[in-house]
Chain A
């Protein structure tokens, strides 16, 4: 199956006169790029080969044992149905919410600058495990902060309850938290689609007598359909791969989810690798199905032509609706991002979890105890930061080179591009299993080292870097670098003076995304890290199993603060490096 992520981009930015530079055969950059790409393609494919080998050739010869084992897994039907239900429901809800947020933000005057640009993306920064814990702290039936506040309120009107009214350990609780983690994907891709959609198409519709809503339905939505299809695919993929949310909430609600069962079967002694691999392949099947559906949507007809330079969007004036719409947006952002963060913060500063918040007891002692004085946690944190810095930098660099010089270089280039993006079609757990099988033992003996973690992170997150880099490359129209070549600059100089500065904002954002994903990684870390090479994800799981909510909250808070700081700094940097992209005339509505 070709790569999933190659098809996730919204319709690529293509200027009418732009052509692809045809690769000059003897380009040193091109050759170096191919070399790097081959290395990373091996990194992605070799562990997968190990998994398939393990599945089919377990006892020396050809053996379908693992397949039979998987099919005999108790409760397999319920497992699959539950997983599909949760993932599909949350994807549908998230698509609606994310698209609405994007439309309001891109096309109406309710936008509030960076606030509404960036806040919908914040769940990306909150590691899912932290979010899940945060929501438990808020909505757990007895001690949840929100429930306790609501009970107090209801008590004043004479209704008394001993628990509830909400229960996080339920179908709706599980779907709610899944949804919150899916919305950023829908928001991100719908926004990109709207931004790339030539506004004159919509203006033409308005001029032709259609109102804003009819324009939205008849012109805008069909125009961004490929982006939305990409969003759905991305959400399904990430939904099937989510592990920490179902581990925390699903387990409490007695709802069995595939990803949890996969990790459990690996954690047992002896590990049931065959079953883990078999279950993973079911996940792969669903992703393939989603990918095929997306091709159907996108493949029909031509979509979203992209206009040339400096488009100015004339925003829809909401008039008296502007206030309420803004209030709703802010409310959504508060509830989904601020509330769980506050809950985490309170618990980590208090040192324990009680329903009644004792404001006087807040202090940094508990935090210090949990992070600084715990040498394992400290080591894990430092390891994660180091791996994040190194991995994100290597990852985005490789992705940029591949996007620029490899993916266009004929059949081999396309194959390498696809191979590097291939892991995106698989659950991260599968790949992590592959790394154990391929690299942990002889002859590489990388088990329990930071190197195996770095390699695994790179293979896992390179597809996301590639999406960011592809988008950044697409931003640089074909004639801009060509004009540089004609102007006497060689390939290296053109890269430095034209490609790099133009791509930089996109690459910086991609770097931040990678960094955050790598330091917050839980799935690969749960399998590849150990006491010899602890990382934050591993430590979080360890603490979770010991059941200390306060320590967990502390670690999650620190992780979130680091992620947010890095992303904030990076956003400022990327805005500064792209200061040329905004016209200085204040009327420019972008």
Chain B
């Protein structure tokens, strides 16, 4: 296989193409040292489409790495199955477990895992030299050089890994992952070991590279900004389960649970009880009186929480419509963040965060408003 080119504009279609990865009912538990059992992944099912960039997002310890490693064949799940390109490579039920080298995928490890005894060139050439039939020298040379150029470090070919900076090692690991032209690349927090500037740069390059080469990517991270920027779809994980799987905008604007809302961005919250449903709306009784938001599938009397984003929360002066939820408040802090200003206000016992330019000073009395359409009503638990 050569490096595949694909029209950068095409996004993977949700059609009935065979998914590159299909995970069904996957589960794996670890026995801890003290004998207790930890469910690292718990009944996970998901598809990755050809050319799709799927991000596994979740806090540390939620099972992202374990899930990635079961896809690669480095870890053996207890239940469920994994199919790559329509072919089952793992099935607990049928006792199938293809070793990693026969799964035709690449992986970038958190530590880069560059072999210290090989030069950058040999590191990158390794997957090519494992191919059957083995490509001839000239081909290997050409493709390694092409990969090196693609990641922007052609001058590093003869260097050993410990003669490179972290960012350079990262690039070599990337080159090694793409050189074989595999249509699936797995990433395990590849950018967590480089500094912020380099990280941003590498992120952009990675994005361009993925869109250009068109491989499907499964990318593990705990950084929601990274996830938003890179992903076609995000799988938000918690406690070994996929809590929501959707495109970044949906995950952000329409989180299905309080957990997701809080993990993806900042959320203002008001806890209460459902008192009635209106036309497309649901109203809660909360500590600040009644709050109305977008209609939710909850019954009257259920515990619920009203969630709204800082950038959708406004101060009295610029409240646009009359049918908002409005509370008197006092400005508690004004935090200058550069491009934006964050304002923290206190309304009764609650405090809310607001983003945007607000011409107020600490201690000022004001009102806070949020439109009904910007308030999500979510179940109080989970």
Residues 303-346 of B contacting A (Cβ, < 8 Å)? none
* B163–A489 CB distance below 8 A: no
A502 to B160, CA, bound (A): 14
* A17–B116 CB distance below 8 A: no
Residues 351-389 of A contacting B (Cβ, < 8 Å)? none
The reply to whether the CB of B99 lies closer than 8 angstroms to some CB of chain A is yes
A22 to B97, CA, bound (A): 13
A18 to B75, CA, bound (A): 13
Given A21-B74, A487-B130: A477 and B111 within 8 A (CB)? yes
* B126–A482 CB distance below 8 A: no
Q: Which residues of A contact B109 (CB under 8 A)?
A: 17, 479, 482-483
The reply to whether the CB of B131 lies closer than 8 angstroms to some CB of chain A is yes
A102 to B127, CA, bound (A): 41
A491 to B100, CA, bound (A): 10
CB closest chain-B residue, reference A21: B74
Q: Mark A11-37, 1 if CB is under 8 A from B, else 0.
A: 000011110011010000000000000
What's the minimum C-beta distance from A444 to chain B, rounded to whole angstroms?
A: 42
A354 to B118, CA, bound (A): 57
* A310–B176 CB distance below 8 A: no
A33 to B272, CA, bound (A): 63
The reply to whether the CB of A488 lies closer than 8 angstroms to some CB of chain B is yes
Given A17-B110, A477-B111, A483-B107: A489 and B117 within 8 A (CB)? no
* B126–A484 CB distance below 8 A: yes
Q: Which residues of B contact A482 (CB under 8 A)?
A: 72, 74, 100, 107, 109, 113
A-B interface, 7 closest residue pairs, ranked by CB to CB distance from nearest: A488-B130, A483-B113, A485-B100, A479-B113, A487-B127, A486-B107, A310-B162
* A486–B72 CB distance below 8 A: yes
What's the minimum C-beta distance from B152 to chain A, rounded to whole angstroms?
A: 21
Q: Show 14 A/B contacts (Cβ-Cβ < 8 Å), sorted by A.
A: A17-B111, A24-B97, A308-B111, A309-B161, A309-B162, A477-B111, A479-B111, A483-B109, A486-B74, A488-B180, A491-B99, A498-B115, A578-B117, A580-B118
Q: Which residues of B contact A24 (CB under 8 A)?
A: 76, 97, 99
The reply to whether the CB of A206 lies closer than 8 angstroms to some CB of chain B is no
A175 to B111, CA, bound (A): 49
Q: Which residues of A contact B210 (CB under 8 A)?
A: none
Known contacts A24-B97, A486-B73; 20 additional CB pairs below 8 A are A17-B188, A22-B76, A309-B111, A479-B113, A480-B115, A482-B74, A482-B113, A485-B74, A486-B101, A486-B103, A487-B101, A487-B106, A487-B176, A490-B99, A490-B101, A502-B115, A502-B117, A580-B117, A581-B117, A584-B160
CB closest chain-A residue, reference B76: A22
A299 to B75, CA, bound (A): 30
Q: Mark B119-131, 1 if CB is under 8 A from A, else 0.
A: 0000000110011
Q: Which residues of A contact B103 (CB under 8 A)?
A: 486
* B163–A584 CB distance below 8 A: yes
Q: Which residues of B contact A18 (CB under 8 A)?
A: 111
A502 to B103, CA, bound (A): 25
A418 to B176, CA, bound (A): 39
Count A-side interface residues using an 8 Å CB cutoff. Answer: 34
The reply to whether the CB of B242 lies closer than 8 angstroms to some CB of chain A is no
* A585–B163 CB distance below 8 A: yes
What's the minimum C-beta distance from B340 to chain A, rounded to whole angstroms?
A: 35
The reply to whether the CB of A501 lies closer than 8 angstroms to some CB of chain B is yes
* A486–B110 CB distance below 8 A: no
The reply to whether the CB of A493 lies closer than 8 angstroms to some CB of chain B is yes
Q: Which residues of A contact B115 (CB under 8 A)?
A: 480, 483-484, 498, 502
Residues 241-284 of B contacting A (Cβ, < 8 Å)? none
A345 to B100, CA, bound (A): 59
* A486–B106 CB distance below 8 A: yes
The reply to whether the CB of A583 lies closer than 8 angstroms to some CB of chain B is yes
CB closest chain-B residue, reference A581: B116
Q: Mark A465-495, 1 if CB is under 8 A from B, else 0.
A: 0000000000001011011111111110100
A367 to B117, CA, bound (A): 45
Q: Which residues of A contact B188 (CB under 8 A)?
A: 17
The reply to whether the CB of B237 lies closer than 8 angstroms to some CB of chain A is no
The reply to whether the CB of A497 lies closer than 8 angstroms to some CB of chain B is yes
**Residue among A482, A502, A585 having the largest count of chain B Cβ atoms under 10 Å:** A482
The reply to whether the CB of B105 lies closer than 8 angstroms to some CB of chain A is yes
* A487–B126 CB distance below 8 A: yes
**Residue among A487, A497, A578 having the largest count of chain B Cβ atoms under 10 Å:** A487
A482 to B117, CA, bound (A): 16
A308 to B110, CA, bound (A): 12
Residues 72-115 of B contacting A (Cβ, < 8 Å)? 72-76, 97, 99-101, 103-107, 109-111, 113-115
Q: Which residues of B contact A477 (CB under 8 A)?
A: 111, 113
CB closest chain-B residue, reference A486: B107
CB closest chain-B residue, reference A479: B113
CB closest chain-A residue, reference B176: A487
Q: Which residues of B contact A485 (CB under 8 A)?
A: 73-74, 99-101
Given A22-B75, A486-B72, A487-B126: A501 and B101 within 8 A (CB)? no
CB closest chain-A residue, reference B192: A17
Q: Which residues of B contact A484 (CB under 8 A)?
A: 115, 126
CB closest chain-A residue, reference B106: A486
What's the minimum C-beta distance from A309 to chain B, rounded to whole angstroms?
A: 7
Q: Which residues of B contact A16 (CB under 8 A)?
A: 111
Q: Mark B181-219, 1 if CB is under 8 A from A, else 0.
A: 000001010000000000000000000000000000000
Which of A309, A480, A488, A584 lies in contact with B101, CB distance below 8 A?
A: A488
Q: Which residues of B contact A487 (CB under 8 A)?
A: 101, 106, 126-127, 130, 176, 180
CB closest chain-B residue, reference A480: B113
Residues 537-590 of A contacting B (Cβ, < 8 Å)? 578, 580-581, 583-585
